[in-house]
Each structure stands twice: as structure tokens, then as C-alpha cells.
Amino acid sequence: EGEFVSLLGASGCGKSTLLRIVAGLDDPSDGVVLLDGHQVRGPGRDRGMVFQQYTLYPWLTAQQNVEFALSAEPKAQRREIARNYLEVVGLTQFADNFPSQLSGGMQQRVAIARALALRPRIMLMDEPFGALDAQTRGLMQELLLSIWERDRLSVLFVTHDVEESLILSDRVCVLAARPGRVREIVEVQLPRPRVYEMQDTPEFIELKRHVHGLIHDEAVKATGLGAVLARSAES
């Protein structure tokens, strides 16, 4: 409850598949997913999903895109709720703009507002900042942390970026390459609120080195390059 957990692993290990199963978008081949003791059967309003691509309707404004997720709410309340969450992500003045009139970072902020508007129990985020430039990505991480610290949502966050996982998370779940299994769960016991200067501390650097080592080992297994790399090292 209220925890920020990242799923990290080599390409193809099943991070996004696992997230889609939790979201109810894919069915598990075995086992079940429980949320508050109840089995997940298909998508639900208790889970908000944010994808890497912005998945906005191009013919709707930012305001209308957020309102679209609120079809179960009385019509009179949709506008107020949508406006409130656009304010949370700093886009009130762009409420009437269409996606084509917004930058990539702004479109993703609309997608986050839309997911938040559902007031979910858990936010599921699939590399939501992967398509952004480095500067915008850093700002989006800061925004997400501020929202998380304010609302204390439970977040399950898929990323391939070690630094991103450590700056955001309470725990990082490193997955083995194939078949997808939990390799190690790393506790990130860094003080909050997190600041970017923290990345220069010995504690952060040691965590980063450890997690990078795990990912590297799994990537070598996944690609089958172990023998080639060993020969190169010997030569």
C-alpha cells in the first residue's frame, strides 16, 4: 500500500507482459493476480494504466481526453474532475489544445492526468518516459515523485533505466532474462524526498553498480554472448 516498485530487466524478460497481466489486458498462462485479496479479471477502474506511447485521442482536446476516462461519472462532474487533474500536472492553460498542439512531454502529462482522474488503487506505468528527451524525462520524473508523495498511490513502474528505477522506487524487482523470473528484489533505502544530487552519493553509486551487474549478467544470458565476450576478454 502506497509503495513505489519498479520492474527492471533485460529486453524481452517479460516486464511489460507482467504489467499487462496486472492491468487485466492479458491473461496469465498460469497463476492469478490478486488486488486487495480479489482476483484480477480484466481491466478495472481500480488500476490506472499509462503506456510509453501517449494513447490520446487526436480528435479530442486535452480536457476531453481526460473526461473520456470518466464516462461512469455524472456529466456535470466530469469537467471539474478533469480540470482538477490537468492542474495537478500543470496543464490547465492547455486544456483546450489538441494532442497535435502539445509536446511529447505534455501529451504524456495528459495521459497521467487521465489515469489519475480514475482515482485508482494502483498506477501501472509501462516505460512512460522512454520516448522523451533526457531533460524532459528528468522533469517528468520529478513531477511523478511530487504526485506520488502527495497522494501516496501504489505504483508499479516498468523501466529499462537503472538510474530512473533507483531515484523513484522503494524497491526494484530485477527480472531474470528467460524465462522471466524474479532474480532479486533490491531495497532502495535512500532518504526521501529524492533529489538528483543524490545520484553522486556513495550509497546511490553502490546500488547502481549492484543493479547494473545483475542486468548485465541477465543480458549476457539472453543474447548468448557469454562465450564471445569471454574470448574477447582473454585476447
Is the predicted pLDDT of residue 111 greater than 90, yes or no? yes
CB contact at 8 A, 215 and 174: yes
Average pLDDT over residues 82-108: 95
> What pLDDT is stored for residue 227 in this prediction?
56
The model's confidence at residue 115, banded by pLDDT at 50, 70 and 90, is very high
For the chain, give the mean pLDDT.
90
Taken in order 98, 104, 105, 108, the sign of the CA dihedral is: positive
Is the predicted pLDDT of residue 7 greater than 70, yes or no? yes
> What pLDDT is stored for residue 63 in this prediction?
95
> What pLDDT is stored for residue 234 in this prediction?
57
Percent of the chain exceeding pLDDT 90 equals 64
Q: How far apart are CA 235 and CA 214, in angstroms?
A: 25
> What pLDDT is stored for residue 228 in this prediction?
56
Is the predicted pLDDT of residue 178 greater than 80, yes or no? no
Average pLDDT over residues 114-134: 91
> What pLDDT is stored for residue 11 in this prediction?
81
Average pLDDT over residues 10-21: 89
Torsion of CA 49, 141, 149, 33, to 10 degrees: 30
Helix axes 104-117, 134-151, angle to 10 degrees: 20
For 125, other C-beta atoms within 10 Å of its C-beta total 24
Q: Please state the separation of Cα 157 from the chain's center in Å.
A: 3
Average pLDDT over residues 13-24: 92
Tell me: the pLDDT tens digits for 48-78? Answer: 999 888 789 999 999 999 999 898 888 889 9
